[in-house]
Structure 1
Amino acid sequence: MKDSLNIKAALKGKKPRNFPMVSRVVYGPGSFDQLGEILQPLRTPGKETVVFLMDDVFEDGRLHGRVPALKEDLLILISASEEPKTQQVDALVAQIQSKCESTPVAIVGIGGGTLLDLAKAVAIMMTNTGSAADFQGWDLVREKALYHIGVPTLSGTGAEVSRTTVLLGPKRKLGINSDHTPFDQVVLDPDLAVGVPKDQWFYTGMDCYIHCVESLNGGYINAFSSSYGEIALALCKEVFLEDLSPAEAREKLMMASWHGGMSIAYSQVGIAHALSYGLSYVMGTPHGLGNCLVFTHLEEFYPEGVRIFEQMRKKQGIALPKNVTRSCSDSDFETMTEVAYSMEPLWENALGEDWKSKISRQQIREIFTKI
């Protein structure tokens, strides 16, 4: 409860926080090829190892061969088919410690939100004792993380710029929210998104759109957050409602993701994310898809946002899966509901301090049964 109160005070402006942000960023088509140059100053005699965590979708592609890994480095290919887990972070840390003779000089995450969140979490847990699950919450990390670099190959989650790394834990889905979480360096190369399947591109982009809608319509909104959120929202509308060239769409969505992630540094997401956390925890539903599945049922709370979402979905020819929760048991629905209901800051942002009088567990459960 103390952590929740701290973040609410900060977000609502009662006690302004000096939040850290990404200190260095390189942007532009082809900028991935600067990664070796960026890493070189970190390498010193006797301490040169870099750990690359990379989406295994690139295993047989050209990007794999462009990774600037030296013989002493460790390249770990990871499937992004499931949401990142605290147990997975712990296993990766153990693997790195067993294979590296000395502490790595950097952790590099290459992929979508799952790989970026894993890279941030691993960097934290390389210097902090315990399980990643112990640090789910706000401002629980005490030791500075290893130097970590994010290279997004998908756009929309904002993971490349946010101060959180969202993980499925043994009891809940919740981020490690801390001043030590943001990347030290980010490489924004829109060309890395070439070839992304259209449905995945849409779902991930909608993560950005939806959290902008939630932030801009929430009670925690302020001038800092709205300035970034409004830019991100406008860019999303361009990308998904206008007829842009593929290259222009990639660049604009990458910028939307960046600004969208910045927009929630001093604000918060809302109902769709709370429900999506519950859905992902039980069903393992990818975060972007989960947001889309729940958002279609939130017209009561975000009428204009849902209306435009449906326009975007139809324009892009996306058909959402149906009957996703049909096989869920009573226990499953109860767990989903409790995980969603426990996300107090998100509900308060959306509905106010008296949010518990405006929505019940039963109403939340009924939304899950419609998905």
Structure 2
Amino acid sequence: MNYKNFPMVPRVIFGRGSFNQLNDILSPKRLNINAPFIYLVDDVFKNNSWLTSRIQLSYDDKIIFISSKEEPKTSQVDVLVEEIILLTKERPSGIIGIGGGTLLDLAKAVAIMLTNEGEAKDYQGWDLVKNEGIYHVGIPTISGTGAEVSRTTVLTGPHKKLGINSDFTPFDQVILDSELTKNVPTDQWFYTGMDCYIHCVESLNGTYLNAFSQSYGDMALDLCKEIFLSDDLSEVEAQEKLMMASWHGGMSIVYSQVGVAHAMSYGLSYLLGTKHGIGNCIVFNHLEEFYPEGVKLFKEMKAKHHIELPEGICANLSDDEFNTMIDISLSLEPLWENALGKSWKKTITREKLRALYQKM
């Protein structure tokens, strides 16, 4: 048996207010005065001096504000890389991503594409990256996606939605400061929190499950139940626990894989631009057949937090559009194999997938 040697994030700081240590962490990593740090920051913080005033810019350091309203695209990565090359005299000292999963995935992808030739779409897949990326730091401002810990960057390309899965993708440093998540709107908090919950359900019910991924998945699942079903947590405790659930849920899938909800939500996202968290929720809501216990609990959480999911998003799609979603979904073979085993193709037909999409 040949076991995979997975990389992990080598350095992580956890604690409220730890964002204030960013400058101390970065200073020793500066290559020289002409090699700036580039900050990719969610544009919801554009007029938020509480966060931006704590980023200490020196020399040619730059903040690039980026909207997270849409899922990250390979073309967006290429444009950012081009912009950074034009902005800087030398290769940057590092890329710092500050935001949710979209910003963290963009930061990871940009760090890789600054040292690898071609376009981001050329690297969508498993272990296609040849060269180590530049130093990159992840600072989540919302919890649940696991992007801060994963070895992938989920990107929508011209032909598929698929991550750059590689040993060079994980961050070199992560700062987990739960205070940064304090103003997240309730629905957004729920959707990204459920991304974490669904990671756990899919990992723990998958055929790839092993003691390593199970130990992380169990812990994250217990935290999700506590956060989304109990009434005893203070806001601060809930923020801290969700940040830990996100980390552990991400670790659980590093050593296993996700399943049906993710495979199908990639189809929605590619065709309709549905954001990842809400897309997972829309799909998972209809997956009793695959995850009966998980879906039952999900519906309890949804009711408790008064979340209304969009309905009828596939109501007016053409045959071609259904086929596009089905093609994207079926291309994610490791996810289906994890969910249903090696003979998954006997169960998952195009007709079956279409019938499920039609319910959404």
Q: What is the TM-score of this pair, normalised by structure 2?
A: 0.98
Counterparts of residues 11-160 of structure 1 (less than 5 Å) = 14-61=1-48, 62-160=50-148
- Aligned partners of 2:209 and 2:256 also within 8 Å: yes
> Does residue 255 in structure 1 map to residue 209 in structure 2?
no
Counterparts of residues 240-251 of structure 1 (less than 5 Å) = 240-243=228-231, 244-251=233-240
| Partner amino acid, structure 1, of 2:73 | K
The Cα shift of 1:103 comes to 0.6
- Aligned partners of 2:112 and 2:134 also within 8 Å: yes
- Aligned partners of 1:54 and 1:110 also within 8 Å: yes
- Aligned partners of 1:268 and 1:345 also within 8 Å: yes
> Does residue 283 in structure 1 map to residue 276 in structure 2?
no
Quick one: which of 161, 166, 172 aligns to 2:149? 161
Taking the aligned partners of 1:328 and 1:210, their CA distance within structure 2 comes to 26
Taking the aligned partners of 1:102 and 1:358, their CA distance within structure 2 comes to 53
Structure 2 counterpart SS, 1:176: strand
Q: Please identify runs of 4+ aligned residues in structure 1 that moved more than 3 A.
A: 44-48
Give the length in aligned residue pairs.
Answer: 358
Structure 2 counterpart SS, 1:154: coil
Taking the aligned partners of 2:199 and 2:16, their CA distance within structure 1 comes to 26
Taking the aligned partners of 1:127 and 1:114, their CA distance within structure 2 comes to 21
- Aligned partners of 1:236 and 1:253 also within 8 Å: yes
Taking the aligned partners of 1:219 and 1:362, their CA distance within structure 2 comes to 24
- Structure 1's unaligned 5+ residue stretches are 1-13
Q: Deviations over 1:141-193 (max 9, x none)?
A: 01000000000001001000000001001110001000000000000000000
> Does residue 297 in structure 1 map to residue 289 in structure 2?
no
Taking the aligned partners of 1:330 and 1:60, their CA distance within structure 2 comes to 44
Q: Deviations over 1:80-118 (max 9, x none)?
A: 000000000000000000011111000000000000000
- Aligned partners of 1:42 and 1:48 also within 8 Å: no
The Cα shift of 1:71 comes to 4.2
- Structure 2's unaligned 5+ residue stretches are none
Structure 1 counterpart SS, 2:254: coil
Change (3 A) 1:351 1:45: closer
| Partner amino acid, structure 2, of 1:117 | D
| Partner amino acid, structure 1, of 2:113 | M
- Aligned partners of 1:191 and 1:250 also within 8 Å: yes
Taking the aligned partners of 1:305 and 1:299, their CA distance within structure 2 comes to 8
Corresponding residue number in structure 1 for 2:295: 306
| Identical amino acids, percent of aligned pairs | 62
Quick one: which of 166, 170, 187 aligns to 1:178? 166
Structure 2 counterpart SS, 1:191: helix
| Partner amino acid, structure 2, of 1:297 | H
| Partner amino acid, structure 2, of 1:100 | T
The Cα shift of 1:211 comes to 1.1
Q: Deviations over 1:25-81 (max 9, x none)?
A: 001000001001111001243444000000000001121222222241111000000
Q: What is the TM-score of this pair, normalised by structure 1?
A: 0.95
Corresponding residue number in structure 1 for 2:216: 228
Structure 1 counterpart SS, 2:53: helix
Taking the aligned partners of 2:140 and 2:173, their CA distance within structure 1 comes to 12
Taking the aligned partners of 2:298 and 2:230, their CA distance within structure 1 comes to 14
| Partner amino acid, structure 2, of 1:30 | G
Corresponding residue number in structure 2 for 1:11: none
Taking the aligned partners of 2:340 and 2:356, their CA distance within structure 1 comes to 17
The Cα shift of 1:279 comes to 0.4
Q: CA RMSD in A?
A: 0.9
Counterparts of residues 187-202 of structure 1 (less than 5 Å) = 187-202=175-190
| Partner amino acid, structure 2, of 1:290 | G
